[in-house]
Copies of this chain bind each other. A is one copy, B any other.
Amino acid sequence: MAGSHDVDKDKESKSNFDVDYVIHYSIPPTETAEAEAAFTQLITALAAAGFATEVRPGRTRASLLVLVRLASDRLLASQIYRARVQDWLYGVRPDAPTPPGSGSGSGSDGDEPVTPAERLRLAYLLITTPRNEGGAGVTVGAKGTGPGARQWRFVKSVFPLHDRAFNRRWIGEWSKKYQLEAGDIDEIRDRFGERVAFYFAFLQQYFLFLLFPAAFGAAVWLLLGSFSCVYAVVNGLWGVVFFEHWKVKEVDLAVQWGVRGVSRIQHPRPQFRFEREGVDPVTGEIVKVYPPLKRLGRQLLQVPFAAACVVALGGLIVSCFAIEIFLTEVYNGPFKQYLTFLPTILLTVFMPTLTGLLTKLAEWLSDFENYETQDAHQASFVQKIFVINFITSYLGIFLTAFVYVPFGKILVPHLDVFQLTARRFTAEGEPLPTKSWEMNPNRLTQQVIYFTVTAQIVNFATEAIVPYAKRRLFKTVEKVQSELSDKTADQVAKDQPEEAEFLERVRDEAELDQYDVTIDYREMVIQFGYLSLFSVVWPLTACSFLVNNWIEARSDAMKIAINSQRPIPWRADSIGPWLNSLGFLSWLGSLTSAALVFLFNHSTKNGVDASPWDIRGWALLLSILFAEHLYLAVQLVVREVIRKFDSPGLQKERAERFAMRKRLLQRTVDHDVTEEVGGPGVSGGEKITRETLEDEVRRLSMAGQGTPERLFWLRQRGADETIQVGRALIAEAAAANQTKARK
């Protein structure tokens, strides 16, 4: 009945009992009657869509766990067929799938295997597609005001269950390996879908590519030191090669996984609010319309949003930066050792608050822009997130490099405002003791090292260790709570003994966070930015990232396997909007690297701090302009060169297309053969003697039937006659030539 699931040997403790999805259903203290009615509707809808259901109590009385499974393999097979036909229509598959029924009954369609990811994806789609399209129409977390959103407001989450045996093997294997292989990525794809697999593939490629700048950077660091022109050029070139190579690799992977063009199959966003329903003038389809010009107007809000980000985050960073410089480099009064922590404290307190607020704003704005599809919404959101992260991550270094160092001498004296402010609070009213300012020449390097080493470690800790600790804590608190109320404690005892362990696991997973691959991408893209923009300051950057990413890959795997619910295995055919961010950072790197080399290479050589008046502005601008255009030209060349190489994915695509074309053209040729037998016109078809031919011409012209065209083509009927006439003409020409020659 269900042979398609891999089952471990110690079934009793690891089996998921073939559960496809768990619906976490909350029972509110009030509204019990509504919850009950909605529950009935939920189960009815699921059953109508073709799911088998089981219900079990949650950890506390406040929730139920509805366990859901595709009721029949035939339903799965037909869903798969339908999805594959859609893929074919959208050009994702080169070939039409074979209809089910010819399959072996194990849920597969003919000979194509069905991965757990495909099964889970289709099951999820069946749960969430509207009822009039054959699904159960369950929506999760829809904040809209539609009847659907209200109806399912008790559904807290819908998630698949982890395959513990696989996870254990996966984590175990990875911890023993130096480097991920293609097979590892494929396994992730089979379990967690292409979207997650693309992240790990990107991480792996990035890791491999990092080996070069790590080695080269270390060499440069030893031999040439910081701000080396050679390093800047090589680093920029590396960035281009990496970016262009990934673009090809991405397509390659998409083809290998059979998901190329999958982004054309758009999932409608349930939160989309249409303004009117219109009939499409072309297709006659009823479409939900939201005026694009209105959306464009709303998209323009991105400009004030970006401005707000710059003002809010920039203001905070600039203030803290100024305070820090004042305290560490100018101020020399009492409590200095404590006061130096002030900017750090300010940043730690306000930065997450502000970022959180702005992220909320970005979410709201993306929602306000009201996209029809998930992808468009996500892309818009990612764009905004990128703006926020760009400012929080890079502005500090930009300030040091392009404001503090060149203009420090002019600006630092203005920091006396802090002194004035401080004087008001101190009773004395005397000027605070200061020392004469001297630029800290290592400040830039220190800052880059902080962001590329310390911040990465802190980030790893918050990402990997904190959630685990938090969950431990919550569990303990919950246990204490449930021990206090005796009723819930014996709920566990109520479980059937053979299910008890399983249900405990399900309850655990219901409390986990959802895995969001966006966060992981963001981290990597921002990291790439440090490398591209600032690594010329400290060439060891790539070494640090190499170590970090080795751990990162494993900690991300752990995060998915242990700290998150199993992700819904969505498909994807690229890393999506992050690709643009990568390209942008790589391009911007050409500008900043040139500027950094130009500004600092001199100053370190001369041993003195350069002021903007020492630097010739036009030379700086010229070097930036030159570096940028060199970058763009090199990018074009690299793109062309990389395209020349054949990749396994494109080979596969070609092979598939070739096979299909061969098959179909064969059919045409067969058709031709049957057509051409007895076809006229070609010599060998009808045999006509000269006599009958001339007779025909005469007959036709006498009867007045022959059009001039017809008569024209009857003059030399058949190739043989044409040849005869032609040869005669050629012979004539030859003869004429000879006579001419004789003359």
Contacts and interface: CB of A to CB of B under 8 A. Distances in A.
A282 B82 contact: no
B18 A713 contact: yes
B54 A722 contact: yes
A461 interface: no
Interface stretch (A69-77, A209-217, A421-429, A474-482): A69-77
A39 B655 contact: no
Q: How many copies of this protein are present in the complex? A: 2
B681 A72 contact: yes
B660 A89 contact: yes
15 contacts: A11-B708, A18-B712, A27-B734, A36-B727, A47-B719, A50-B681, A62-B733, A71-B680, A72-B680, A82-B665, A85-B664, A86-B665, A101-B675, A283-B655, A617-B618
A306 to B, nearest CB: 12
B730 A32 contact: yes
Contacts of A679: 72, 74-75
B91 A91 contact: yes
A504 interface: no
Interface in A159-198: none
B625 A682 contact: no
A736 B487 contact: yes
B644 A292 contact: yes
A275 interface: no
A47 B735 CA distance: 28
A378 interface: no
A8 interface: no
A680 B105 CA distance: 14
A713 B69 contact: yes
Contact of A1 (B39, B498, B710): B710
A12 interface: yes
B734 A32 contact: yes
A300 to B, nearest CB: 10
A381 to B, nearest CB: 16
Nearest to A730: B36
A514 interface: no
A186 B723 CA distance: 40
Contacts of A730: 27, 32, 35-36, 39, 64
Interface residues of A, number: 113
Shortest Cβ-Cβ A-B pairs, 3 listed: A71-B681, A617-B618, A47-B719
A672 B296 contact: no
A254 to B, nearest CB: 17
Of the candidates A618, A651, A725, A729, the one having the most CB atoms from chain B within 10 angstroms of its own CB is: A729
A597 B100 CA distance: 69
A71 to B, nearest CB: 3
A682 B71 contact: yes
A128 interface: no
A735 to B, nearest CB: 9
A59 to B, nearest CB: 12
Interface in A414-455: none
Given A36-B727, A625-B625, A713-B18, A668 B719 contact: no
Interface in A358-415: none
B283 A55 contact: no
A20 to B, nearest CB: 11
B723 A43 contact: yes
A731 B33 CA distance: 9
A75 B681 contact: yes
A296 B681 contact: no
A285 interface: yes
Contact of A716 (B48, B54, B621): B54
A714 B69 CA distance: 12
A143 interface: no
Nearest to A655: B282
A78 interface: yes
A99 interface: yes
Interface in A623-647: 624-625, 641, 644-645
